[in-house]
Amino acid sequence: MKLSLTALIGICLLVIMGCDVASSAPAEKTVSDLPVEKSTGLVFDPVALDMGTVLEGEKASATLLIRNNGQDFSQIVKVESSCGCTTAEPETRMLAPGAFTLLHIEVDTLAKRGDIRKSITMTDQNGVQSIAWLSLHVKENPHALGEKRSIFDGKCASCHAEPAKGKTLGLEIYTAVCVMCHGVAAKGGYAPSLRGLDDVDVLRNLIANGTGTQHMPAFSKKEGGPLTHKQISRLVKWIISLDE
C-alpha cells in the first residue's frame, strides 16, 4: 500500500513527539538518588561510662565527649542530670559538623553507698535529646561520719526535700522523697525494705527522727527535714497498708 507524502510526514512527526515524551519522563530512581537521612547530630561518646570506685563523701569526676555527627552546626541548649548531686558542664555549646567538645561531670557521693547509676540528658536546638549513663561504686568511708552536710542541703535538696512540698497523699509523699532509696512499694533499694514494720509508733519515729546517720536523716520539719507532722502520719499509714 502506497502512502502519500502527507501521511509519511504525519508518521514522522508522531515518532519524534513520542521520543520527546519518553525523554521528558522521570527516570527510575536508584539507591544513590534517594534522599540520605541526616544523622541525629549531637551524641555522647561513650553513651555509658563506668566512673569506678570512690569513698563515700568524695566527689567522683569524669569527662565525656559530645560529638556533632550531623551535617549542620548544632547547639547544646540544655544539659540535665537525673539528680541534683550530679553536675555536667560542656566546654563549648556550639559545634560545627564533625567537631566535639568535652563534658565535665562531677557526682557528689554524700550519703550514698553501693552501686550508683545516674543519667545525663542533652537537648539540642531542635529539641532532640541524647542520654548518657553513668555508673560508680561508693565504698564506706569511716571519715564521712563527721560530715555536717545533709541530703536536705544545697543541690541535694532538689531530690530529697523539694519534691515533698504540697504532697498530701501517702503514695505521693513516698514517691517524692522515699522511693529513690527504699525502692518501689517500699521493698528496698539502696536502703532497706520498710515492709513488715507494722508498729505505727516505731515507723513514725524512724521517719521523723532518723537513725542518726546521713543515710537516714530526720525527715521531720522540726529536725530540719522536709515533712510536716501530717505528711509523716499519712506516709506511715500508707507504708503499713502495704502489708495488709
SS3 call for 73: coil
Number of C-alpha atoms within 13 angstroms, CB side, residue 163?
18
Please tell me the predicted confidence (pLDDT) of residue 40.
Answer: 62
| pLDDT > 70? residue 155 | yes
Q: Is 236's pLDDT higher than 80?
A: yes
Per-residue pLDDT at 158? 87
Residues 198, 133 contacting (CB under 8 angstroms):
no
Q: The pTM is what? A: 0.71
Are 41 and 73 in contact by the 8 Å Cβ rule? The answer is no
Secondary structure of residue 20 in the 3-state scheme: helix
The answer to whether residue 58 scores a pLDDT higher than 70 is yes
Cell reading at 159: 531530690
Three-state secondary structure call for residue 35? coil
Mean pLDDT of the chain: 84
Please tell me the distance from the alpha carbon of residue 195 to that of residue 244, in angstroms, as a whole number.
Answer: 10
First to last CA, the chain: 105
The domain defined by 42-145 folds into: Immunoglobulin-like (2.60.40)
- Is 151 within 8 Å of 111 (Cβ atoms)? yes
Strand-pairing partners, residue 44, are 66
Does the pLDDT at position 59 exceed 80?
Answer: yes
Give the start-to-end residue ranges of the domains of the chain: 42-145, 148-241
Architecture in CATH for domain 148-241: Orthogonal Bundle (1.10)
CA-wise closest residue to 71 among 95, 93, 47: 95
Question: What's the confidence (pLDDT) of residue 102?
Answer: 98
What's the pLDDT tens digit per position in 30-47? 334 434 334 469 999 999
β 48-55/74-81 pair status: unpaired
- pLDDT at res. 145: 66
**Residue with the three cell numbers 499509714:** 237
Question: Given a cut of 80, is residue 144 above it in pLDDT?
Answer: no
Q: Is 70 exposed, middle or buried (0-12, 13-18, 19+ CB in 10 A)?
A: buried
Average pLDDT over residues 183-191: 89
pLDDT on residue 166? 95
Give the whole-angstrom CA distance, residue 209 versus residue 196.
19
What percent of the residues of the chain are helix, what percent strand, and what percent coil, each to the nearest 5? 30, 30, 40
Percent of the chain with pLDDT over 70: 83
Grid coordinates of 20? 520527546
Looking at residue 66, the DSSP 8-state letter turns out to be E
pLDDT tens, position by position, 63-102? 999 999 999 999 999 999 998 899 999 999 999 999 999 9
Tens digit of each residue's pLDDT (9 = 90 or more) over 104-142: 999 999 888 899 999 999 999 999 999 999 999 999 988
Between CA 238 and CA 40 the distance in angstroms is 45
Average pLDDT over residues 173-194: 91
The answer to whether residues 215 and 160 touch, using CB atoms and an 8 Å cutoff, is no
How many whole angstroms from its chain centre is CA 226? 25
